[in-house]
Structure 1
Amino acid sequence: MEHNWPPPEGSWASSASRRRNMQAIRSRDTTPERLVRRLVHAQGLRYRVAARPLPDLRRTADLVFRPAKVAVFIDGCYWHGCPDHYVPPKTNSGYWSDKVARNIARDRDTDQKLRDAGWLVLRFWEHEPSHESADQIAAEVRRRRNVTNS
Structure 2
Amino acid sequence: MSASHQVVCGHCGKINRLPAERTATNARCGSCHQPIFSGHPIEVDEEAFGRHVASSDIPVLVDVWAPWCGPCRSMAPMFERAAQELEPRVRLLKLNSDTAPSVSSRLGISGIPTLLLMHHGREIARSAGAMDTKRIVAWTMAGLARS
Q: TM-score, normalising length from structure 1? A: 0.31
Q: TM-score, normalising length from structure 2? A: 0.31
Higher alpha-carbon Rg: 1
